[in-house]
Structure 1
Amino acid sequence: MGEVRNNQRPNVHVYASVWQRILAVIVDLLVITAPLSVISFLVVGNWRGDWITILLEAIYWLVIPVITRGYTIGKWMAGIRIEMRKGNPPGYFCMFLRYAVVPFFYVISFGGLLLLSCGMMVLRTDRKSLHDVVAGTVVVKGSVPKYVPNQSKISA
């Protein structure tokens, strides 16, 4: 299997299923986005948000996955996480690409790129969608150990 450096996981990925990813997005929308929209409506009077709720949502999508090493609440509940291609936790720049830049193109393409992204997730063996390819991330099952030695010595 080769030598593993810096306590990184060997190049073995157990990719998250499409259904796990869909469940994670639904949970995130129900737990974070919907309540913030309601709070914004009650405070400001519109569903689009005020600067405080927009800031809180940006922190959730851009900062929390970095701090928690690839988890959002939805991903944690679905048992999956985001990581970089070599098993490293995601950084701020890739989260910015993943959750801000690429979704902007989903919107300006009137959902065309979003449909392409969903098709990629279904058809690719690594389950990468467009935002994963651009950001250099992959969504894996969270229970995978970070490092499994080739031979372990067990003493009785």
Structure 2
Amino acid sequence: MKFRTLKRQKKVKKTAVKYMYASYTHRVKAFITDMFMIYAPILYLIAYVFMDGKDDFQSSQLAPFIGVSIYGLIYAILLSKFGQTPGKKAYEIKVVDDKKGELISFFRAVCRFIAFLFTASTLLGLFLPFYRKDKKSLHDLICGTIVVIEKKD
């Protein structure tokens, strides 16, 4: 074979799109939905069931940490078992491994959540999907995940 033909074949293999990437707006809407469906009830339970109200919750440094930890645990369990949270399910998107397309492990889901907290606190990684074809955020790059449109079988 000619060198030119081999070079064209390599280019075709590299540019082949394997996934349908989820839009950034759907990802943000899914995140907001998860905040209302998972995180808000956790904070409510901590503030009004386990503590004496919002004043005690606001004065505590441990209560918000416990709330975020519980949310992160639930988030990691849902991602490792189903690949989706309720918000992602509502917008028909899924978090998968970027190489194999399979569900990620629990440990990797926890790492992705911790990386998301870092990404969200710096705001740098949240703007990354606007400049990438695969729409990966910084926490997706760190953990080797990708958010795709769920396939209907």
TM exceeding 0.5: yes
Match of 1:65 among 73, 79, 84: 79
The aligned amino acid for 1:97 is C
Residues 62 and 99 of structure 1 are in contact (CA less than 8 Å); yes or no, is this contact kept in structure 2? yes
Tell me what 1:142 maps to: 150
Aligned identity (percent) is: 27
Aligned length: 128
Q: Describe the SS at the equivalent of 1:117.
A: coil
Q: Identify the structure with the greater helix proportion.
A: 2
Tell me what 2:91 maps to: 78
Tell me what 2:127 maps to: 119
Residues 80 and 142 of structure 1 are in contact (CA less than 8 Å); yes or no, is this contact kept in structure 2? yes
Residues 112 and 140 of structure 2 are in contact (CA less than 8 Å); yes or no, is this contact kept in structure 1? yes
Tell me what 2:9 maps to: none
Tell me what 1:149 maps to: none
TM-score by length of structure 2 reads 0.74
The aligned amino acid for 1:18 is Y
Measured after TM superposition, the shift of residue 104 of structure 1 is: 4.6
- Residues 6-155 of structure 1 mapped to structure 2, 5 A cutoff: 12-43=18-49, 44=51, 45=53, 46=57, 48-49=63-64, 51=66, 56-68=70-82, 70-85=83-98, 86-100=100-114, 102-106=115-119, 111-112=121-122, 114=123, 116-143=124-151
Q: Describe the SS at the equivalent of 2:103.
A: coil
Change (3 A) 1:74 1:132: same
- Return structure 1 stretches of 4+ with deviation > 4 angstroms: none
- Kindly report the root-mean-square deviation, in angstroms, between the aligned alpha carbons of the 2 structures: 2.3
Residues 16 and 80 of structure 1 are in contact (CA less than 8 Å); yes or no, is this contact kept in structure 2? yes
Q: Describe the SS at the equivalent of 2:107.
A: helix
Structure 2 unaligned residues grouped into runs of 5+: 1-15
Measured after TM superposition, the shift of residue 55 of structure 1 is: 5.5
Quick one: higher RCO (CA 8 Å, sep 6+), 1 or 2?
1
